[in-house]
Structure 1
């Protein structure tokens, strides 16, 4: 079987596609996989690094603004749509896929749309709780729409085509128990562990709050273990904390390379509301304090976080009204309430789909074999 996977823009779109590509290669020895991304996107670096071939299309986003610069950008985007349509047709002609799957990002649109027009089996996977513009448009023509949460079904015009699969999570998150993970981190006492990070690159405002958070934790004698990933603001945080003697219980790291181990060991996670992060939290049942990024299109992170909060799995704080003291006090309140945290963990686990990759694989395999085509998919 020839599988074309199209994605891009963020690691949250690329990683699920890579997980699916590996599953197809493991299960079907004769499978061939091709990735299609956006020219200039991070997929040009990440996908070849994973060992998969990549082709690109010329595509860009639409900006939701009427400023002169936004209007000029959107005019370029309209021109790019015409170019990308021809590029998508050329790629499909050359690869002749049996199945086309989009996992998010603007590059998905021309490829999936053209494949659907040709009658090639198509599917899209949406990690966010509420679909973005690309998924909204492709949901009208794709044979299957795979989503992360049952709550997401209501946002689609063709609920019969929607399958709740969850979002794939790396197997490393399931290899250790909490105690094994704590042992691996060298935690020898009973104090809880707090994990905090604000995305792979960090976030300047939130890291400023965490500087105050860490100072207070040191003043109060490190009442809990704490591992914080600062990302690109690591140097600035080191400088801001230069006069503070951090005890061994408080670790300031640039990146958390052993994230599965740290997250499994954690008793509470402070984080953003990205779809991949929330999928990891729900898969292993971790209570969280989520501060959604205010700089995300269509407030996706806030909508993602609210889905978890409504089910009782997370506390949501908005960045504009947040502070180091607010985060610290919220953390202390939750750590002092083990029964509440246990209820939050159970709510998270109830929403999680640990075998998401398997569910997606089965859905796509049936679709690729022609068993579950939507009769009006090309409409």
Structure 2
């Protein structure tokens, strides 16, 4: 039986694409082992998804104590790779992948990388010369790569959950009992929420209430939900508007939406592209996270509009104006469709040099 080690962790943006690949490999009869941090969210998410998981003591290298703790993880990583003897190792970026990738290089294993964002992250920048192939979400990433190494890269798009390829806009709109002329506006700042976006929605709530043909699905984020609820106590809310911390059926609501207001995380934008949705993007303002570069790809292709955190209220106002303009929404959908890739999970798996006897 073939064996692959997947090393990932830290955030959902790294973990969920890795799980999509893991599921695909498992269906092809491959033994999949995940290695991540023993203290981050992957320690729960990965086993709950039905995969074997090994947690190492890996911490951000911000203090001397963390650096010494992480050094031990390099030796444990070598021990894991030596014992498991994988046919390949796939790293999904960030510092959590480093110990296993180092072990893979030292033990001469086949290394593959996947980059979710438009700009190449530090870990992938360091390892791509030693990897057999690095899988990219966006063409723009080639701007970071010297010409002589570009044949080591392949644009596949981000690996997404299998369900996204079969979800139907018509079916989901019927399931939500949307009228033919009713517009669905989805507003989300992700599972943690986005304070600036929430405040902007509150600024425009009376206007939203007056728009009878617009149904709003608003995900406030877990930590903001109670505060929003209190502040909405005396506000009028249409029976059809739904306000929750997060929607577990987010893909289904995205499929039904006419317009999406959201952050610009790489995975979210890949889902927006796959579902061919126009969007208003309000990127998280940290340069390290890289959301602005992700958002620019959709804006430059005329499939989205970008507003900064300080302009979030303008963004919500524009969303209310745009959602009534079917001609403009159609143009944006067509532009977004041009960014679609093939099924990234299948393309990445087919590109792994592990299938020959």
Please indicate, yes or no, whether the TM-score normalized by the shorter chain is above 0.5.
yes
CA apart distance, 1:226: 1.0
Partner of 2:92: 103
- Report the Cα distance in structure 2 between the residues aligned to 1:112 and 1:267, rounded to whole angstroms: 42
3-state secondary structure, aligned to 1:139 = helix
Q: Are residues 80 and 368 of structure 1, via their aligned partners in 2, closer, same or farther at CA, if it must alter by over 3 Å?
A: farther
Question: 8 Å contact 2:38–2:55 — kept in the other structure?
Answer: yes
- Report the Cα distance in structure 1 between the residues aligned to 2:54 and 2:8, rounded to whole angstroms: 11
Partner of 1:314: 304
Question: 8 Å contact 2:191–2:245 — kept in the other structure?
Answer: no
CA apart distance, 1:153: 1.8
Alignment partner of 1:355 out of 343, 346, 352: 343
Question: 8 Å contact 2:299–2:305 — kept in the other structure?
Answer: yes
Partner of 1:145: 134
Report Cα offsets for 1:7-43 as digits up to 9, x if no partner. 0011111111111111111122xx2111000120100
CA apart distance, 1:350: 1.5
- Report the Cα distance in structure 2 between the residues aligned to 1:34 and 1:25, rounded to whole angstroms: 10
Report Cα offsets for 1:234-292 as digits up to 9, x if no partner. 11111111001211232112221111211111010000011110110111110110101
Partner of 1:90: 79
Q: Are residues 162 and 370 of structure 1, via their aligned partners in 2, closer, same or farther at CA, if it must alter by over 3 Å?
A: farther
3-state secondary structure, aligned to 2:254 = helix
Question: Are 2:271 and 1:270 aligned?
Answer: no
**What runs of 5+ residues in structure 2 fail to find an aligned partner?**
none
> Post-superposition, which runs of at least 4 consecutive aligned residues in structure 1 deviate over 4 A?
none
Question: Are 2:126 and 1:126 aligned?
Answer: no
Question: 8 Å contact 2:283–2:292 — kept in the other structure?
Answer: yes
Partner of 1:329: 317
| Alignment of structure 1 residues 37-116 onto 2, 5 Å | 37-62=36-61, 73-116=62-105
Q: Are residues 76 and 140 of structure 1, via their aligned partners in 2, closer, same or farther at CA, if it must alter by over 3 Å?
A: farther
Number of positions where the alignment pairs a residue of Structure 1 with one of Structure 2: 353
Question: 8 Å contact 2:196–2:312 — kept in the other structure?
Answer: no
- Report the Cα distance in structure 2 between the residues aligned to 1:136 and 1:142, rounded to whole angstroms: 11
- Report the Cα distance in structure 1 between the residues aligned to 2:69 and 2:105, rounded to whole angstroms: 20
Question: 8 Å contact 1:3–1:99 — kept in the other structure?
Answer: yes
3-state secondary structure, aligned to 1:56 = strand
Over the aligned positions, Cα root-mean-square deviation in angstroms equals 1.8
3-state secondary structure, aligned to 2:74 = helix
Partner of 1:18: 19
- Normalising by structure 1, report the TM-score: 0.88
3-state secondary structure, aligned to 2:280 = strand
Question: 8 Å contact 1:217–1:223 — kept in the other structure?
Answer: no
- Report the Cα distance in structure 2 between the residues aligned to 1:133 and 1:109, rounded to whole angstroms: 10
- Report the Cα distance in structure 2 between the residues aligned to 1:280 and 1:206, rounded to whole angstroms: 20
Question: 8 Å contact 1:5–1:100 — kept in the other structure?
Answer: yes
Partner of 1:215: 206
- Report the Cα distance in structure 2 between the residues aligned to 1:17 and 1:184, rounded to whole angstroms: 30
Q: Are residues 331 and 174 of structure 1, via their aligned partners in 2, closer, same or farther at CA, if it must alter by over 3 Å?
A: same
3-state secondary structure, aligned to 2:186 = strand
Q: Are residues 255 and 354 of structure 1, via their aligned partners in 2, closer, same or farther at CA, if it must alter by over 3 Å?
A: farther
- Report the Cα distance in structure 2 between the residues aligned to 1:255 and 1:184, rounded to whole angstroms: 19
- Report the Cα distance in structure 2 between the residues aligned to 1:215 and 1:99, rounded to whole angstroms: 55
CA apart distance, 1:335: 1.8
- Report the Cα distance in structure 2 between the residues aligned to 1:264 and 1:300, rounded to whole angstroms: 25
- Report the Cα distance in structure 2 between the residues aligned to 1:361 and 1:212, rounded to whole angstroms: 47
